Structure 1
C-alpha cells in the first residue's frame, strides 16, 4: 500500500489538521525519516519512498507500531469482541498487566482509541470516546490491516533523536516534529523533553545541515525563531482544528450547542534548510555556521 491514509492513532500535538500545509513544503526525496514519529500523520498522508524510517523515544508506541506491522492478525484477534466502554477503559488503564509485547500493544491501542485526544500519560489518560465521532471497535481491524500494509518494509526504532540524525544517509529528508518549546508537554507525553533537548536538537541539525534536508515544526515563539535564525526558510502557519467532546460531556448541552466541540487555531512555524519553491532536488544550502 502506498496511498495516503490516516494515522492509526489519536495523538496529542499530532499534525493531522496541518497535513496539507506540510506536504506542500516537502522537497523530493528517496529516503524519509521521522525522528519524533508520534502518530505519524505525515508519513501516513504521503507516498512511501524507497526508504522510510519511523522513530520515537516512547517504547510503548514503537512496540505498537511493530506489532501492527508484523502481527496484525494476532492483534486483531486479541481485540476481537472488545467494546468501547468506560469500564473497559478503566480496566485496561488501571488493572490490566500485559504479559508480552502483543498484550502491551493491545492495551496501548485500546486506550489510545478510547482516551480523550489520545493522551496516554497515566495521570491524564481519561475516557474520551464518543460513538458519533470516534472510530468504533468494529472498524479497528480495517484500521490495523491498512496500517500494517503501509508499514511493510518501514524501519521502526526506539532511539534518541540525536542517534537517528547522526546516522541518516546524505540527502535524507527528515520531517521533525518535537514537543513544543514553550508548552507544558509533560501533561501529554510519557517522556519529557527538556530545554536542553531543544538546544541539543538545534545543535545536531546545524551540524548536519549541509548533508540533509529537514522540515521542522515548532511553536511560533521568539526563542525558537532566534535558535533557528540560520535556517533558509521560516513560514508562519495557521490551521483550524476541533477538539471533540465525549458523549458524557455532551449530556446536558442545549440542542443548539456545538456538539463537536470548540474550534481552535493551530499556530506554528515551519523551519526549512532548503528552498521549498525549487522544482529540482539540489544539494542543501552551504551555510557557514558557528557553534
Structure 2
C-alpha cells in the first residue's frame, strides 16, 4: 500500500464530547512546545489538528481507545485487511456488538473501530451503542483506508498509554504542555463513557494540576459551571468560549428515529471555559500557587 504522508489529519473516531468543532478555537490557545501530552485523549481531535511536536503522548484510561490507536500506528495493514470489503450494515453492527469475540489486540481494535464508525454519535458504552450510520452523512467504508493511512502517519513516534491521569501528568517532563479535556462536570457520563469520572476525580485532577502548576503548562477545557470556576479560581486565566455543533443526521436507533424519515438532531451551542496557567505569547507560567490550596475529597460513608 502506498502511504500518504501528512503532518495533520482528523481523528479516526466519532467521539462523544470530542473537540472536532472547536479545533480552530482551541488551537489559538496552544503554544508551540516540543513536548505535548493529552491525559484524556478520547478521539484526540486537537492532537490531530495541531502541528506535530517532537514528543507527543496520548493517554486514556479506556484501554480500547488506546489499543485502537496503537494498532493503527503499528499494524495498519493488518487492520485494513480485516476491514477490506466489509460493508456498513445494521446486521454487521449487531454481530460485532453482541457476538464477536476478538482473539487478539488487532481483532479487538478492528471490532472497536467498526462499531465506532457505525454507532450513533460514536457512543461505545455497550448498553448505549446503537446503530447510527447513514451513507450520505457518515464516512463510507471505502474511504476508511485512506483516512486511516493519514492517521497512522500522524501517530508514528507517538507514545500511547492507558494509565490513570495522575500518573500521566506526574510523569510528564518539566516544561511539557498538557491539553486537558476531562469528562464534563455535568455530563451524562454513564451514557457516553466506559470509564466513570465522579466528583472525587474532578477534585483529584484539580489537586494534581496544582502540584504540577509551576513546572507544566496546561490548557483545560471544561463545561462552564460555577463549581468548576470555584475549583480553578487559583488559575490566572479563565475565558468563556462558545461554538456551534453541527446537526447529527444519522439514525437514532434507541428512539426509533431515522434520518431517511427526516430525523436530525437539534443544532446546539457548546459553552465551555478555557482555563490556563500560562501566557501564550511569552509561554510563561502565571502566578504560582501554594499546596495549601489543595482540597481533600470527601470520602464516601459506608453504612
The alignment's TM-score, normalised by the length of structure 2, stands at 0.91
* Partner secondary structure for residue 268 of structure 2: strand
Instruction: Compute the displacement of 1:194 (Å).
Output: 1.2
- Report matched runs for 1:151-166 at 5 Å: 151-166=155-170
- Report matched runs for 1:1-291 at 5 Å: 1=5, 3-246=7-250, 249-253=258-262, 261-276=265-280, 278=281, 280-283=282-285, 285-290=287-292, 291=294
Instruction: Compute the displacement of 1:89 (Å).
Output: 0.4
Instruction: Compute the displacement of 1:27 (Å).
Output: 1.8
CA separation in 2, counterparts of 1:149 and 1:73? Answer: 12
CA separation in 2, counterparts of 1:2 and 1:154? Answer: 14
Cα distance change of structure 1 residues 96 and 221 upon mapping to structure 2, 3 Å threshold? same
Instruction: Compute the displacement of 1:66 (Å).
Output: 0.6
Give yes or no for contact 2:277–2:285 (8 Å, CA) kept in 1.
no
CA separation in 1, counterparts of 2:75 and 2:204? Answer: 36
Q: Structure 1 regions of 5+ residues with no counterpart? A: 254-258
Spell out, residue by residue over 1:166-203, the C-alpha distance to the aligned partner (whole angstroms, 9 max, x if none): 11001100000000112221100011111101100000
CA separation in 2, counterparts of 1:2 and 1:233? Answer: 33
Q: Structure 2 regions of 5+ residues with no counterpart? A: 252-256, 295-303
* Partner secondary structure for residue 72 of structure 2: helix
CA separation in 1, counterparts of 2:136 and 2:104? Answer: 33
CA separation in 1, counterparts of 2:6 and 2:141? Answer: 25
Give yes or no for contact 2:176–2:216 (8 Å, CA) kept in 1.
yes
Aligned match of 1:256: none
CA separation in 1, counterparts of 2:198 and 2:50? Answer: 30
The aligned length equals 284
Instruction: Compute the displacement of 1:71 (Å).
Output: 0.3
Give yes or no for contact 2:58–2:158 (8 Å, CA) kept in 1.
yes
Instruction: Compute the displacement of 1:207 (Å).
Output: 0.5
CA separation in 2, counterparts of 1:251 and 1:149? Answer: 36
Spell out, residue by residue over 1:59-107, the C-alpha distance to the aligned partner (whole angstroms, 9 max, x if none): 0111100100000010000111100000000000001110111110000
Q: What is the root-mean-square deviation in Å for CA atoms of aligned residues?
A: 1.4
CA separation in 2, counterparts of 1:186 and 1:260? Answer: 23
Give yes or no for contact 1:231–1:272 (8 Å, CA) kept in 2.
yes
Give yes or no for contact 1:171–1:283 (8 Å, CA) kept in 2.
no
The alignment's TM-score, normalised by the length of structure 1, stands at 0.94
CA separation in 2, counterparts of 1:206 and 1:49? Answer: 25
Give yes or no for contact 1:240–1:264 (8 Å, CA) kept in 2.
yes
Instruction: Compute the displacement of 1:244 (Å).
Output: 1.3
Spell out, residue by residue over 1:217-239, the C-alpha distance to the aligned partner (whole angstroms, 9 max, x if none): 11100000000000111111100
Give yes or no for contact 2:137–2:249 (8 Å, CA) kept in 1.
no
